A and B are shown apart, each in its own frame.
Chain A
Amino acid sequence: MRPFSYQRATDPDTAVRALGAAAAANNPLTHARAQPLAGGTTLIDLMKLDVMRPAAIVDINPLASHWSAIEPKGDGVRLGALAKMSDVAAHDEIQRSYPVIANSLKLAASAQLRNMATLGGNVMQRTRCSYFRDVSYENCNKRNPGSGCAAMDGVNRMHAVLGVSDQCIATYPGDFAQALIALDATVEITGKSGARSLPFAQLHKAPGNTPDIETTLQPGELISAFFISGRWPRSVYLKARDRQSYEFALSSAAVALDVQNGTIRDARVALGGVATVPWRAREAEALLKGQRFDDGLAQRVADAAFADAKGRRHNSFKIALGKRVVARALQQAVTMEI
């Protein structure tokens, strides 16, 4: 860890100003000189590993009084960016109307981490690629642009099969983001020039030729909330992983359905653990709409979701696994009691 300055932001304005001033024109995530600090469960970790080296930390926890509410808004719900994962997961209305959100949070990390970690920090968490997290490896385009990718032909069991580029195959590791993208959430952002909002699907950027640029946030910008319109009681989050708890997904699926009289009116499918960014499987959704559910359909949907998947030496299994996870999640969503 390197020395850094620490400042507590007492209100959103000072936070944005402090961040903007220090961050200058840098990419907000990888090389920014200033970083907001929420729960710190990603940031402090990566600072200790010398992967992130901010010169300034702006502690945004005092903004919790502004930004941590879980509140109804319009026909949907608004989740403050500083709400703790554990609070949202345990929230009655979230469990009732958005089980996919509650479960994506409940099945993430550990109880201790969920008590510390915030929703904003959660969606901004960095990849778990071991080569990215170990600075003794030179070759990492994400950490060290232009240096190559050690994972491409290295140990890549945990890596992505969707949304990959020849520059980076790092998995987006989070769970909650799959629920957000599935439910067409909007992300509310506060920055120097005021507030703006953005479809959540436009927050993360696939690696392409610039894997170091992970989001469309501008320097100094902060996520203040997420908004989900409508209610999605028929929704599930299914997560396959190496152990029963406290482990990232090898493959996960966030599925939300609107089924009326046996016909699927609307369907949302998002995939975790297999893609470089939160991943919406729109081709798969298209196959579901207007159909009656059966196992054959589930299979076709799963195939469509992974049609473009590219496996490498250790992670090809994720394609078959991912398909089974999608199919099973659909079955569960169709049959769940609501």
Chain B
Amino acid sequence: MTAAAPDPKMNMGQPVPRYDAVVKVTGRATYASDMPLSDPAYAFLVTSAIAKGRIDSLDLDEARRVRGVIDIVTHENAPRLKDSKLFSNGGYAGTTIQPLKSADIAHDGQIIAVVVAETYESARDAANRVKVSYTATTPSATFDSPGTTIAAAKGQNAQFKEDPKVGDFAKAFDEAEVKLTASYETPTQHHNPMELFSTSCAWMGDELVIYEPSQFVHGLKHGVAEQLGIDADKVRVVNPYVGGGFGSRGSMTPRTAIIAAIAKRLNRPVKLVPTRDQGFTITTHRAETRHEIKLGARPDGKLVALRHEGAEVSSRPDAYCVGGTKTTTRLYACPNVDSLVSIVRADRNTPGFMRSPPEVPYLFALESAMDELAVKLNLDPVELRRINDTTNEPIGGKPYTSRSLMACFDEAAKAFGWAQRSPQPKSMSDGDWLIGYGCAATCYPTQMGPAAARVRLQRDGRTRVEIAGHEIGTGAYTVIAQTAAERLGVPLEKVAVFIGDSDLPPAPVAGGSNSTASTCSVVTMVCDQIRQRLFKAVMPGQSLTDKAKATVGIGQTPATQAAKGDRPLDLEKAFDALGVGVVEEYGEWKPEGAPLDSFRAMHSGQVRLVGGDQMKDQIAYAFGAEFVEVRVNRFTHEIRCPRLVGAFAAGRIMNPRTARSQLMGGLIWGMSSALLEATEIDERNARYVNDNLADYLVPVNADVANVEVILLSEQDDRINPVGVKGVGELANVGTNAAICNAIYHATGQRIRKLPVRLENIEV
């Protein structure tokens, strides 16, 4: 096996190549803006140059004179759309700021006009010639800006129900022998998926087809229908491939319904491909956050008190927050815990999910603080984690369904060569470079949502799986195909998978790392329905349920070798007995503990994820440990991270190749987040400055010399039928702290604000 296709260990599937590998590398995969349209008009957005105020007038004369311009849609003539509620309040939208409704401007880069023309080029040319005069008022940009307000998240964000606490933190901290108080900050970040935020809309009579990269086709379908005031069954969202999501395409943005309405008005398909910089303001972002951590410990390292206070910036109308205290208060054994999450309102667009939304900023704070505490205690940071490792989360006392945190630490430490580290800061170097080693824990909740699928098996073994999942680059096609092939006992090449289309049975949002768990669970269930029908045909006398349970492993049992059944099914015989050529089954699956309205919600494009800390008698997380080597140049203070090693345990690994790729990408992303990524805000006018990929830096190949991913074998029968925890958002969580911890080791300097840049180093 190669590094890219690691040997499967116990409870891992085969590292088969990606289902979509060939179409992708040959450029034949069709992304939304590749979809052929008949005689489309092209839209180009005009966005606001102020963050707060109103439009006094729009001078469109010069723009209208550009040859090929068909229409210029502004707030004065825009089609009226219904408001959509925020996804967290039972709606579909990622923001309630609806552009083109009035002359008011609520954030930088808000859509203020849409130019529609015969070609992309004339639409862009005309858009450049739209002249806007504004009355600008001074916006509040971010933390510390005059005019912001702050209030507890609890009570204003429907999904943030409780600030976790237990015991008596104040007293315990007061009495603690060793204490640490430290503050941390993380910046605004943008997802910048490779594929731009395009939208094409085409009407056929009263039916609308939308081609748009989306992480939730059913949500988008219902959201757009609601905004247009039409029956959701008349709307179809199609995107067989999505060029990266990272959360940016999870909830509906205002652009889609606007383009749909313009297409309707023009009676012509309309195609929008916004620019990269427009992507920074017409979708969501990761909000900047601030944290204060207080840790109290005994001299032997046992935590006695932990408090995490976090603050996050949101928009004026929407109380979005990620509230990562749900994780940081439960990660380690500690009897006295307190927490508080607050939301600061500024004149910004509403933030949203970005890869591991709560865990990235909140674990950066906690895992940095743990390292600081280890230094105070003169303990190896790995040992400090071991001392405070736990099988039950401290807030509600619920057991982790499985937790391999320390096994991950041990494996990764060994592979990294942690034992060679001399613990003293500034004690290791190589020529011009100071060397630092650092580590941190990583974790991500295991989540699942209700899902439906249709599977068709033909006599010759050809299989068709239909489910409105999403291929955002993670390997969804591949693991779904593997599941069906394995379950039905047919060769992988015979399985065709259809996803990314809202006409297919609904699956949850491709977010929260739930996709593999949810889609593979339902596909497993539906394949078992097919097996049952076939078994019934060959063994009519048998008691169906018992037989099926024993032989095909339905229900909440894992798809391990043992449960797969010992009797291969003779397809020919079964089809003969049934007397048909095709068997087709549809099924709906929901995870244990899913709310009663799950299936209703699923069919109306609403998300009902369960898992993580929200389970009844247990708590489910995937864990990992990350080790990094950082080099800091003595002269230039340049910071490089030539080596990243992560070990991860996430239940059943469906495909070690695609899982490794997710985790490797996560480690690199985490390094990027720690050292490079930040959206700069001009505080005078609450506008983004580096809104392009030349100035919003992400690593290049030369920055990523060596990444090692270790997959640990873990079996968890208590989470879902396939025993899968998510891996998509697991690896980029711990890296931020690991890198700052390594910088401390290299330089003796503790940096508590991301990203770390050379000017922050003072050696």
Contact indicator per residue, chain A 96-117, by CB within 8 Å of chain B (1) or not (0): 0000000000000010000000
State A246–B703 Cα separation when bound (angstroms): 10
Give Cα A238–Cα B432 distance, bound, in whole angstroms.
13
Specify which chain A residues have a CB less than 8 angstroms from the CB of B689 in the assembled complex. 130-131, 134, 154-155
CB-contact partner of B697 in A134, A137, A138, A242, under 8 A: A242
What's the least CB distance linking B124 to chain A, in Å?
Answer: 6
Cβ contact within 8 Å between A1 and B695: no
The answer for the CA separation of A164 and B580 in the assembled complex, in Å, is 83
Question: Does A205 belong to the interface (CB within 8 Å)?
Answer: no
In the bound complex, how far is the Cα of B306 from the Cα of A247, in angstroms? 41
The interface-forming segment of A22-30, A226-234, A277-285, A323-331 is A323-331
**Cα distance A153–B683 in the bound complex, in angstroms:** 10
- Across the interface, which residues of B come within 8 angstroms of A157, CB to CB? 680, 759
B680: chain A residues at CB < 8 Å are 155, 157
Which one of B89-97, B207-215, B631-639 contacts A? Answer: B631-639
A143 to B695, CA, bound (A): 19
* A3-B695 in contact given A250-B758, A327-B635 (Cβ < 8 Å): no
Q: Is the CB of A245 within 8 A of B635?
A: no
How many whole Å from B198's CB to the nearest CB in chain A?
17
CA distance A2 to B697 in the complex (A): 29
Q: Which of A2, A133, A241, A325 has the most CB of B within 10 A?
A: A2
In the complex, are the beta carbons of A242 and B684 less than 8 A apart?
A: no
Q: Measured between alpha carbons, how far is A138 from B681 in the docked complex, in Å?
A: 17
- Bound-state Cα–Cα, A240 to B637, Å: 8
Minimum C-beta distance from A139 to chain B (A): 10
> Are A324 and B128 closer than 8 Å at their CB atoms?
no
CB distance B49 to A136 under 8 Å?
Answer: yes
B38 is an interface residue with CB less than 8 A from chain A = no
Q: How big is chain A's contact interface, by range? A: 35 or more
Given the known interface contacts A250-B758, A321-B758, the answer about A243 and B697 at a Cβ–Cβ threshold of 8 Å is yes
B177: Cβ under 8 A from any A Cβ: no
CA distance A150 to B685 in the complex (A): 11
The contact string, 1 if C-beta is below 8 Å from chain B, for chain A 1-24, is 111000000000000000000000
The reply to whether the CB of A87 lies closer than 8 angstroms to some CB of chain B is no
Q: Count B-side interface residues using an 8 Å CB cutoff.
A: 35
Instruction: Give chain B interface residues in 665-705, CB to chain A under 8 Å.
Output: 675-676, 680-682, 684, 689-692, 694-695, 697, 699-703
Contact (A325, B636) CB under 8 Å given A137-B49, A243-B703, A317-B759: yes
B411 at the interface (CB under 8 A from A): no
Q: Is A184 an interface residue when CB atoms closer than 8 A count as contact?
A: no
Tell me, yes or no, whether B588 is within 8 Å of chain A by CB.
Answer: no
CA–CA, A135 and B49, complex, Å: 9
The answer to whether A244 and B700 have CB atoms under 8 Å apart is: yes
With most chain B CB atoms within 10 A of its CB, the pick from A134, A251, A325 is: A134
Find B676's partner among A3, A240, A243 (CB 8 Å cutoff).
A243
Q: A128-B694, A137-B49, A155-B689 are in contact. Are A321 and B636 (CB under 8 A)?
A: yes
Question: A246's contact among B128, B640, B695, B700, by CB below 8 Å, is which?
Answer: B700
Task: Confirm or deny: B376 has a beta carbon within 8 angstroms of a beta carbon on chain A.
Answer: no
A155 cross-chain contacts in B, Cβ below 8 A:
680-682, 689-690
Complex Cα spacing A50 to B680, Å: 22
Q: Is there contact, CB below 8 Å, between A2 and B635?
A: no
Query: Contact string, B311-345, partner A, CB cutoff 8 A, digits 1/0?
Result: 00000000000000000000000000000000000
Contact (Cβ within 8 A) A154 B682: yes
Contacts of B676 in A (CB 8 A): 242-243
* Chain B residue at smallest Cβ distance from A323: B635
C-alpha gap A241/B695 in the complex (Å): 12
Task: Report whether B128 and A245 are in contact in the complex, using a CB–CB cutoff of 8 Å.
Answer: no
Contact of A154 with B125 in the complex, beta carbons under 8 Å: no
Do the beta carbons of A247 and B697 come within 8 Å of each other? yes
Kindly state the separation between the CA atoms of A251 and B692 in the bound complex, as whole angstroms.
22
Task: Tell me if B421 is interfacial: C-beta within 8 Å of chain A.
Answer: no
Query: Is A243 in contact with B702, judged by CB distance below 8 angstroms?
Result: yes
> Complex Cα distance A250/B124, Å?
33
Q: B121's contact among A1, A153, A154, A324, by CB below 8 Å, is which?
A: A1
Decide if A1 touches B125 in the complex (CB within 8 Å). yes
Q: Which residues of B contact A327 (CB under 8 A)?
A: 635
Q: Report the bound CA distance from A317 to B682 in whole Å.
A: 19
Contact for B640 among A134, A158, A244, CB less than 8 A? A244
B residues in contact with A325, CB < 8 Å: 635-636
Report the separation of the CA atoms of residues A226 and B701 in the bound assembly, to the nearest whole angstrom: 33
Considering the complex, which residues of chain B in the window 415-448 have a beta carbon less than 8 Å from any beta carbon of chain A?
432
Q: Tell me if A328 and B700 are in contact (CB < 8 A).
A: no
Asked if A154 and B758 make an inter-chain contact with CB atoms under 8 angstroms apart, the answer reads no
Alpha-carbon distance A201/B228, docked complex (angstroms): 62
Minimum Cβ distance to chain B for residue A208 (Å): 25
Kindly list chain B residues whose C-beta atoms are within 8 Å of the C-beta of A133: 692
Which of A138, A154, A244, A250 is close to B702, meaning CB atoms less than 8 Å apart? Answer: A244
B277: interface (CB < 8 Å): yes
Q: Please, which residue of chain B has its CB at the minimum distance from the CB of A240?
A: B636
Of the residues B125, B277, B432, B635, contact of A134 by C-beta under 8 Å: B277
For A240, the chain B residues whose CB sits under 8 A away are 633, 636-638, 758
Mask of B621-660 contacts with A, CB within 8 angstroms, 1/0? 0000000000001011110100000000000000000000
Name the interface residues of B49-85: CB closer than 8 Å to any CB of A. 49
What's the Cα separation between A251 and B125 when bound, in Å?
Answer: 37
Residue in chain B with minimal CB distance to A331: B635
Contacts of A324 in B (CB 8 A): 635-637
Q: A residues 42-96 with Cβ under 8 Å of B?
A: 50
- Among B277, B635, B695, B699, chain A packs the most CB atoms within 10 A around the CB of B635
Give every chain B residue within 8 A of A243 (Cβ-Cβ).
676, 697, 699-700, 702-703
The answer to whether B759 touches A321 (Cβ under 8 A) is: yes
Q: Which residues of A contact B758 (CB under 8 A)?
A: 240, 242, 250, 317, 321
Within 8 Å CB of B636, what residues of A? 238, 240, 251, 321, 324-325, 328
| Given A131-B689, A155-B689, A243-B703, CB of A50 within 8 Å of CB of B635 | no
B49 touches A245 (CB 8 A): no
- Tell me the nearest residue of chain B to A248, going by C-beta: B694
> B757 in the interface, Cβ–Cβ < 8 Å?
yes
A321 & B640 in contact (Cβ 8 Å cutoff): no
Name the residue in A2, A242, A243 with the highest tally of chain B Cβ atoms < 10 Å from its Cβ.
A243
Which positions 203-250 of chain A face chain B at CB distance < 8 Å? Answer: 238, 240-247, 250
How many angstroms between the C-alpha atoms of A131 and B680 in the bound complex? 12
| A3 contacts B125, C-beta separation under 8 Å | yes
Chain B 113-127: CB-based contact to A (< 8 A → 1; otherwise 0) = 000000001001100
Distance between Cα atoms of A157 and B638 in the complex (Å):
15
Chain A residues positioned under 8 Å from B124 (CB to CB): 1
Q: Which residue of A lies closest to B694 (CB)?
A: A128
Specify the chain A residue showing the minimal Cβ separation from B277: A134
Given A1-B121, A131-B689, A245-B702 contact (CB < 8 Å) = yes
In the complex, chain B residues 38-56 whose Cβ is within 8 Å of any chain A Cβ:
47, 49
Neighbouring B residues of A242 by C-beta, 8 Å: 638, 675-676, 697, 757-758
A131 to chain B, nearest CB (A): 7
Q: Mark B497-525, 1 if CB is under 8 A from A, else 0.
A: 00000000000000000000000000000
Within the complex, what minimum Cβ distance (angstroms) separates B277 from chain A? 7
Interface residues of B in 727-763 (CB under 8 A from A): 757-759
Q: Please tell me if the beta carbons of A130 and B690 are within 8 angstroms of each other in the complex.
A: yes
Given known contacts A240-B758, A243-B700, A244-B700, A50 and B128 CB-to-CB distance under 8 angstroms: yes
- Determine the residue in chain B with the shortest Cβ distance to A318: B759
CA distance A247 to B757 in the complex (A): 14
Known contacts A110-B700, A154-B684, A328-B432; 4 additional CB pairs below 8 A are A3-B125, A242-B676, A244-B700, A245-B702
Give 5 closest A-B pairs by Cβ, nearest first. A317-B759, A240-B636, A245-B702, A244-B702, A136-B49
Q: Which residues of B come within 8 Å of A, CB atoms?
A: 47, 49, 121, 124-125, 128, 277, 432, 633, 635-638, 640, 675-676, 680-682, 684, 689-692, 694-695, 697, 699-703, 757-759
**Can you sample 11 A-B contacts with CB below 8 Å?**
A1-B121, A50-B128, A110-B700, A134-B689, A135-B128, A150-B682, A155-B681, A155-B682, A155-B689, A242-B638, A243-B700
